[in-house]
Structures are given as C-alpha cells and as structure tokens.
Structure 1
Amino acid sequence: MEGTGMTELERRANDMRADIVRMIAEAGSGHPGGSLSCADILAALYFGGVLEHDPREPGVGGARPLHPGQGSRGAGALRRARAGGLHPSEELATLRKLGSRLQGHPDSNQVPGVEVSTGSLGQGLSIAAGAAAGLRLDGAPQTVFALLGDGECQEGQVWEAAMFAAHRKLDNLVAIVDRNGLQIDGRTCDVCDPGDLGAKFAAFGWDVDEVDGHDLDALVAVLGAAKAGRDGRPHAVIARTVKGKGVPFMENEAGWHGKAPNAEQAAEALAALEGDAGKESSRG
C-alpha cells in the first residue's frame, strides 16, 4: 500500500470525519450522515494505494477519481487536495459560504481533485460509465470508480447505466454502494426497498463483492482486486456501513442525513472522534 500502514489509514479516515463535522457545523448546513458513513471507503481509495491520482493532473495514473452520485460526499477529494497542499485547512471553514470555491455540491471548475460537478441523484454512475467507455475507446488503462448511496439506487438512471456498462463490457468501471440502510426520509426498506443490491447488479451482468465498509484492510483488498480485474464485466462493491459512523449520537439516525450539528453537538462529536484517535494511537 505504498508505505501507508493500516493505523495511518485509520487516522486519515478519522481526520476526514473530524473535517466533515467542523465544516458542516461552521456552514450551518450539510449532510453529515452519509459523509461519515463513506469516510473509510474514501480513505481506502485515496490513501490506500487504490487511486494513483494527482489532483493537479486529472486523468493521469492507473485510476480515475470518483464520480460521486451524491455531491455532498466530496470530502475525500477535498481531503486529498488538502493533503497535496491545494487546500489549506483554513479554507475548509468556508464551505457553503458566499464567494467560496467550496460549495455544498463540489464545483469541478473550482475545486482541484473534483472532476465532475455532481449532486443530482442517479447521474454519477452514468457519468462514470461514459468516462469508462471513453477510456476504452482511447485504449487507456485507467479504471473509473463511482460512489453511490443505497437510497440513490432507487433512481432508474442507475439501472440504465448498469445495463449500458454490462452491455459494453466495461471492466474498467467499479461502482461502490455505500449501503447504510438510511436516507433522508427514513429506512431505505421503508421508503422504497432496493432489496438485495448485490443480486440486482449481478442480474445486470456485473461482478459483485460485498464488504464491511468500515474494515480498511478488506476495503483496500476488495477495491484493489476490482481495479485489477479484467474479465469483460463491470464490478460492483456493496459496502455495508453505518450512517453517521464515528459519532455515536448520529449513528443509524436518519435525521442526521441533512442536518448540521450546533456548536455543542459539534464539540461532542469531535470529542468522540478524538477519543477514537487516542485509541488508535495506543494500538499503533
């Protein structure tokens, strides 16, 4: 993993969660639940050696960055850009503020490391499939990753893209589903049950893996294998996660899908994350 140990990956994910809490609390609006649930996925991709990607040179390297269907999940790209010196830490406090380049849905024209301005649910996989098809036509070796929410998989456009990708044999495309079981209106099984998403992707002609979305060892292994696989089929990774992961009072609570913590709640959340960081240090 290019010299990055697992304790370092855990620290990266924890730092990302702390950034998410601070940014959304300062902005007074945002989507903490899903951003926290996918932090480990993003850490595995950006810091686990899966994406060889320089935000200064998009498209260069062995894998293209994510095309997130849910634009509020751009924290990983921002974190990657920050690590590369493209975003000073003080800029993160300008999220969603007038004049800032860091808006609620990342602007690819303003934010290094973000290739596509997203936000409308269901479009991310179509964009990623188009990018993968273009790379295939160019004879380029890169793999395209797309991050989807499980509630987002209620959108018909997701399955149009899935059908297209299988038909075109886009084995350079990997879709990751953040399967936390909650969406803005409640449990996905109550709002519009997507059922067995792994079985659905398989029925559309995709290879499928299921993984604990908070097990960084497993994530790096599964995502790396999906990237390396070239069997004529696109690859779906169903990552089982906890909405609001890392902040006890947010975990498995649909109400935190799109609500910012107040100052007291943010302090409580950061204290919990700092406690987790201390536990990681003692283990390391």
Structure 2
Amino acid sequence: MNDWSLPHDTLLELREVSVVRSKRSIVTDVSLAVYPGEVFALVGPNGAGKSTLLGALSGEITPSTGQALIKGVPAKSYRPKALSQFRAILLQSNQVSFPFTVSQVVEMGRNPWVGTMEADHDEASIARAMQSVGVTDLASRRFGELSGGEKARVSLARVLAQDTDVLLLDEPTAALDLHHQDRVMRVIRRRSRVAGDPVDTDDRSAIPPRPRGVVVVVHDLSLAAAYADRVGLIVGGSLVAVGTPEEVMTADILSDAYRVPLDVTRSVDGHLTVVPTRGVID
C-alpha cells in the first residue's frame, strides 16, 4: 500500500463524500479529484465546510459516507508515516508549545524522511523552503517571538520542507500583508509544477522534477483567480461549482454564494478581480 508510483491519474479523490459531526451535516455528497501539476483552490463563505473538506482529502477525516482515495486507493489503507511522506498539511493554527527556533520548526518538516535515503536532502530542502518564503534571516529567532505573519510563513516553510507530492494548505495567506500574499501564492504555484523552488543549491540537480498537486483554502477571491488552475466553490457543505476561475468566478455565481453583490472585472495584467459592489456609504 505504500507504493506511490502506481499509475493512477489522480492524486486525491473524493467520491460522494459526506461528513456528519454531532448529527450535523458539515459536508454533503462531494465528489472531486486533484491532479498532478495543478493548484486547486477551495473558496466559499465562512463555515461552508472548506477545512473539513481539506481534512477528508488528506485522509485525516474519515467520511461518514462515500470514499476518500489517495492514488486510487482508500485513504484509510495507508499508514500514517506513508501518508506523511505523500502529503503535507498546513492548518490554520500556527502554535508551537516549546521555545523552538525558526530553523528547528522548519526542520520538523523532514521528520517523515528519518531513516530513508531522502534524509540526504534534509539540509537542501530546509534551505530552499526557508528562502522561498523569505524567513532565512529569522533562522535563530524563537518561534514564539514572531509576529503572526512571520509565524504563518515559517509554518508554510515547514510544510514545504516536507517535500511531498501533495500540499494541503488551509488559509496560508490569511495573516500576510499584500507583498507576502503574492509571494506565497507564487511559491505554491511553482511547487505544483516541479520539485522545489528555483533556488540555487548544490543538491538541486539530485532532486528529479515532478508535478505536484496543491489544494489551498483561500478567502481572497482575487488571489484564487490569479493563481489557481481550478476552483471549487463550497456553500453550506455542498460543492456548488468546480472549474477554471473564469467558469466559477462570475458575478452571478459568487454574489449568490456570498449573499452580497460582487463585481468581477479583469485587471490590466489579465487576471480576474473580485470586489464588492458598494453604493453610497453613510
């Protein structure tokens, strides 16, 4: 069950998945697939079920009904270590209980590879991850002393250092300023195309390129439109639309989902921009 080279077209797949907690339906009859080489953005109002859906895709949450598959095999068939070598998860919470330094936190991402040949790439993977999100200069700082945005970037670096075929990221840009939001989404997009970021390291040639799958929960609809290959819109636990940003992110669809009038326009660089339609403000 631990052979990730099996010839399946999808990395992750949900088939008619529902999740019920305390007799409350959180996700209802969702089917979707995540493919190598794509960024799949999950968008939707607060409480729509995005984080729960991410958990079902990762194998962390067992569906109440339906099936969650990883490389075409039921997620429950895999041992935790095998899963951690295949997919990395970034949660919304960025807390560390002990006074670890930034470099120590990022190094934790390499734990799944202890005792394997991949451990030879630990140093290079950590360096690439830290440089890609701009936290190299924070290496000796205590994690608990960082700002919210710095903690978010260090936590993302830990996940990137894990060097897996799938990244599942829950709101990685939520605590970031505009500059770092854009930088993080660029890193995520590059990671979906090849192994590692384009950072000069002696070990980079030893890491073969491979397309990855990225699932990212994003609240900023314009960011999702700019960087995602496909978008899934979740409303009330149901997946109401799936497709390219142009197919899903229309004014009618989004205004109905968010229950507020929205305008969707195209910016100078060709990307879709989503903004509320505001009249006169008293």
With the length of structure 2 as denominator, give the TM-score of the two structures: 0.35
Higher share in strand? 2
With the length of structure 1 as denominator, give the TM-score of the two structures: 0.34
